[in-house]
Amino acid sequence: MDFELSREDRLFLESVKSFAERVIAPRWVDLDEGKWPIEEAAARLGEAGLLGIPLSSKYGGQDGTFLQAALAVEELAYADPSLAVPVYVLLETAWPYMVQRYGREEAKEEVLPEVARGRAFVGIGSTEPQGGSDVASVVTKAVKEGDLWKLYGEKNMVTGVATILNLPYGGGVVAITRTGRVEDKHRGITTFLALLKRRGRVTPGFTHRDWDEIGRHGLPTGYLTLEGLPVEEVFMLGELNGGFKVAMEGFNLARTVIGAASVGAARWLLDRGLEWIRQRVVFGRPIASYQAVSFRFAELYARLQAAQLAVYKAAWVADRFYRGDSAFTVQDVATAGAVAKLLAVPLAVEVALEVMKWFGGASYFKETNVARALLGVLSYYVGAEGAENIMKLIIARNVVGREFV
């Protein structure tokens, strides 16, 4: 057991911190207010080597680890607690990695270097209007027509479609589609990298509209209607009817880094809260001198350390598994990722609400920015990349046993 980062990881963390402080922190409010486009942030992230951290250098990546990705996302969330930038980076940690792991060589060589440079975005198209939690029941169809697959259906709450359309190369979504019978559940699912814009040209066969979100305005989420979107065979990920595991592995990784984003935002909130309670004088004393305030700080501080360790452990487990350590299984990655999300996300929401109370009425006004962080972490609290109960379901199934849950 060693709680110290390696020299390489320490240097990496210092360079991300410096980048986040210089480039992201001064602009995060602009980003949230639509005054700094995410595509510009993406180009800077690409230059800094923060997109596709665990991707192979063969595809323009950094040959980095999931621990490094978690460290980076945490620092980016400290710099942008509304979470647009860290969510961009965490999605580009998980889903392009699935393209690298399960994609055909030609697809990887074309798309992944564009992702790493911030010229393409690869998101996830899983959720459908009838519900997001039951991924094995998706009904969006992929039908073979001649040489091409054509996608028909509705995907809801897809992050990054507008971003894809604005990026120079473009990109797409890892689309979870039905190729078998609905009754076949997870055995009838195939996953494709469905490019919505490729080499600067928008693909025909889809429409989209953005939702008007309550927070995290920097990275839009919308509704995607697939009306025969063409996908070449080479963009299939994994095997025909074998796509469910691709999706599950992607979610496992995403959840680990979502934990990191939540920890980063919670750290930012708690630091702002600490500054405030030390200097805010009420009834003649700083409010930090009231135990009702400082004990609550202590409790949240302790729980945040625990959540942070759970995130680092989940990243470490993912690194072990994906680097071929046979002592770890994909279930270990799933459990650790679910633990990370389950601990970190509600805690970040709780920290935000408590810090808002310490700020009192001032927190209700946009200028204090605390509410922007609350609205950012709320996206994961209400369900993005898996609702809280689904995290419990994963842990219970893997630990208590599938026969019981």
Ligand X SMILES: Cc1cc2nc3c(=O)[nH]c(=O)nc-3n(C[C@H](O)[C@H](O)[C@H](O)COP(=O)(O)OP(=O)(O)OC[C@H]3O[C@@H](n4cnc5c(N)ncnc54)[C@H](O)[C@@H]3O)c2cc1C
Interacting residue ranges for ligand X, rule: CB under 6 A: 123-127, 131-133, 157-159, 221, 379, 382-390, 393
The CB-of-389 to ligand X minimum distance in angstroms stands at 3
- Measured from the CB atom, the residue of 70 and 173 that comes closer to ligand X is 173
Residue 150 dihedral angles phi and psi, to the nearest 5° = -120, 135
The CB-of-380 to ligand X minimum distance in angstroms stands at 8
- Measured from the CB atom, the residue of 354 and 385 that comes closer to ligand X is 385
The torsion region of residue 145 among left (phi > 0), alpha (psi -120 to 50) and beta comes to beta
- Measured from the CB atom, the residue of 103 and 123 that comes closer to ligand X is 123
DSSP code at position 57: G
CA angle 335, 338, 341 (to 5 degrees): 150
Tokens of 145: 């027509």
- Measured from the CB atom, the residue of 48 and 157 that comes closer to ligand X is 157
H helix or E strand, kind and range, residue 12: helix 7-19
Residue 117 dihedral angles phi and psi, to the nearest 5° = -90, -5
The CB-of-215 to ligand X minimum distance in angstroms stands at 8
- Measured from the CB atom, the residue of 98 and 124 that comes closer to ligand X is 124
The CB-of-149 to ligand X minimum distance in angstroms stands at 19
The CB-of-131 to ligand X minimum distance in angstroms stands at 4
- What is d(CA 154, CA 139) in angstroms, rounded to the nearest whole number? 9
3-state secondary structure (DSSP) of residue 295: helix
Q: What's at 6, amino acid-wise?
A: S
The CB-of-210 to ligand X minimum distance in angstroms stands at 11
Helix 330-359 vs helix 244-279: angle between axes, to the nearest 10 degrees? Answer: 30
H helix or E strand, kind and range, residue 79: helix 66-79
3-state secondary structure (DSSP) of residue 292: helix
Residue 5 dihedral angles phi and psi, to the nearest 5° = -75, 150
The CB-of-156 to ligand X minimum distance in angstroms stands at 7
- Measured from the CB atom, the residue of 49 and 259 that comes closer to ligand X is 259
The CB-of-126 to ligand X minimum distance in angstroms stands at 3
- What is d(CA 242, CA 352) in angstroms, rounded to the nearest whole number? 41
Residue nearest to ligand X (CB): 132
- Measured from the CB atom, the residue of 136 and 393 that comes closer to ligand X is 393
Instruction: Give Cβ neighbours of residue 357 (< 8 Å, ≥ 6 apart).
Output: 363
End-to-end CA distance of the chain: 33
- Measured from the CB atom, the residue of 127 and 256 that comes closer to ligand X is 127
The torsion region of residue 67 among left (phi > 0), alpha (psi -120 to 50) and beta comes to alpha
- Measured from the CB atom, the residue of 5 and 371 that comes closer to ligand X is 371
Distance of CA 134 to the CA centre of its chain: 19
The CB-of-176 to ligand X minimum distance in angstroms stands at 8
